Amino acid sequence: MKIAALLSGGVDSSVAVHLLCEQGYHPDLFYIKIGMDDDGYSCPQEEDLEIVRAMARRYGLTYDVVDLQKDYWDNVVAYTIDKVRRGFTPNPDVMCNRLIKFGAFDQKVGHLYDKTATGHYATVIEEDGRSWLGTTPDPVKDQTDFLAQLTGLQVSHSMFPIGMMAKGEVRRIAEEAKLPSAHRKDSQGICFLGKIDYNQFIERFLGKKEGPIVEIETGKVLGRHQGFWFHTIGQRKGLYLSGGPWFVVKKDINENIIYVSKGYQPEAQMKDELVMRDMHWITLDPFAEQTKIFPVANDEAPVLFKIRHVAELRSGRLTRRADGSYHLQMDAKTNGVAPGQFCVIYTPDGRICLGSGEIAWE
């Protein structure tokens, strides 16, 4: 079997390659270049490439660099800026997986191979005559929420060699095998920013637009801000107001007003329902096509779901509405419900990730 292995320079993808070689495979290694290094925004690409070259030498494999900078800029970065401009909270990593790692790469290189292997914590489940995106035993490291915009075809073409392992086991294998990335820290944040501050990046494209900071209880103007796009709900730092602590509790994107409160209670921002638009089903739409994997009755079904920043899966009931959107009634209040983020839907047993939808303003 011909396998293309995406190697990032991190420990997860390195162990994935190590395991493939231990199993007798001889994958070709590929490093995807997406950082905007020619425009002041860069990932630590040289350090990454040193590890890629070391892995290739150690296992006698070939490696190549696939330049997807333009694809990344035209799709992921443009998506991020557009969402922020419209007051949403985007998730670039989700779109990077769908459009770049499993999209543009496959169009340029991956389609020449039987499978594309990555270091994601996920699995592929072959059941009911189809390929499904499966979760992993380690709920903390499970990455199916970042893969929830993939298509069924992309899943069927994928391999996740470390998918059934916990992070500690992956680290142990890397140390015992003396892999060059064994002690490298996990990457954090958005790759293309490099060491650039997120607000500096946003300012470059959206600029500044002064507006009032208003106390929500009294309507009193407490200060000025430089644009609603620099602020998020629940934010405490960066307001530069005296007599605090003050928290951002609401944004008026049409009037460019930031509302704050001193008596902010996190529970007040928790929700027990949400609406999703642009629902994306990975393998099939279970509300349109019956399947034993996820039976639906009367356009309603019990589900587990996940929202970014909430580690565990939570339960609720999903209903399809007449306008094509979906309503999720949660069994318990949940924080982190931000329009623009993805709500990821799982089967009631948490075994299969079915898809995701974008949380809407409602």
- pLDDT score of 159: 98
Helix axes 198-206 and 78-85, enclosed angle (nearest 10): 80
* 278's tokens: 């642009």
Question: What residue spans in the chain does CATH classification 3.40.50.620 cover?
Answer: 3-119+161-193
Strand partners, 346: 304, 353
CATH number assigned to the domain covering 3-119+161-193: 3.40.50.620
Which tokens sit at 140?
Answer: 């903390």
Residue 37 has pLDDT above 70, yes or no: no
Chain-centroid distance, C-alpha 266: 24
Distance from C-alpha of 131 to C-alpha of 272, rounded to nearest angstrom: 32
Q: Report the mean per-residue pLDDT for the chain.
A: 90
**pLDDT for 259 beyond 60:** yes
Point out the residues that are catalytic: 96, 191
pLDDT at 218: 93
**What's 69-134 look like in SS3?**
HHHHHHHHHHHHHHHHHCCCCCCHHHHHHHHHHHHHHHHHCHHHCCEEECCCCCEEEEECCEEEEE
Q: What is the pLDDT of residue 310?
A: 77
DSSP per position, 124-185? EEEETTEEEEE--S-TTT--GGGSTT--HHHHHTEE-TTTTS-HHHHHHHHHHTT-TTTTPP
pLDDT for residue 178: 95
| CATH number assigned to the domain with residue range 208-265, chosen from the 4 options 3.40.50.300, 2.30.30.280, 1.10.10.10, 3.30.360.10 | 2.30.30.280
**Domain 267-359 coded CATH 3.30.160.150:** no
Q: pLDDT (tens digit, 9 = 90+) per residue, 282-337?
A: 999 999 998 999 999 999 999 999 997 677 899 999 999 999 999 999 999 887 78
* pLDDT greater than 70 at residue 339: yes
CATH 2.30.30.280-classified regions of the chain: 208-265
pLDDT of 36 over the 60 cut: no
pLDDT at 214: 96
Every domain of the chain with CATH number 2.40.30.10 lies at 267-359
Residues 95-135 have pLDDT tens digits of: 999 999 999 999 999 999 999 999 999 999 999 899 999 99
pLDDT per position as a tens digit, 129-156: 999 999 998 888 999 999 999 999 999 9
Please check whether residue 282 is in contact with residue 117, taking contact to mean a CB–CB distance below 8 angstroms.
no
